Amino acid sequence: MGSGSNKYLLAAALCCFAAALAHLGCIIFGADWYRFFGAGEQMARMAEQGLWYPTIMTFVIVLLLLLWGLYALSGAGAIKRLPLTTLALVVIGAIFLLRGIAFVALMPMFPENSLTFWLISSGICLFIGGLFVVGSWQQWSALAGKNA
């Protein structure tokens, strides 16, 4: 499949890379960015105090989003096929969709996050998850057509 033929997975990759960049901005620019993106006052205060927890947690998210973006590019055929691409795309899509749907259950665990944060971030997760699901379905349909 050509590199430009699966626009859904290419869009999913771009979304993952943009989200990774926003998270990286929190690490670089600190407490104000944590506050702006709704990470909660506790995370912002820890960043102001120079504690490592916000940096480590946010960096793990950056790495995960970058990896997921690479898997989306791999599934789209834009880069070399990565190991377990098919399984990874299903799992990544499911994680995004689950995060988007399960925010109500997650809210009590993070009481400092605003309802606006939950609604916006959950909507973004549902959107990206949808891109992964539709892109994966398109990819498999194209492969099934070639194998028929």
Q: For 5-30, what is each residue's pLDDT tens digit? A: 799 999 999 999 999 999 999 999 99
Q: Is the pTM of this model over 0.85?
A: yes
**Which pLDDT score is estimated for 121?**
95
Judged against a pLDDT cut of 70, whether residue 2 lies above it is answered with: no
Residue type, 45: R
Q: Residue 102 — very low, low, confident or very high, per pLDDT cuts 50/70/90? A: very high
CA 73, CA 88: separation in Å to the nearest integer? 12
CB contact set of 62 (below 8 Å; sequence gap of 6+): 20, 23, 24, 27
pLDDT category of residue 1 using cuts at 50, 70 and 90: very low
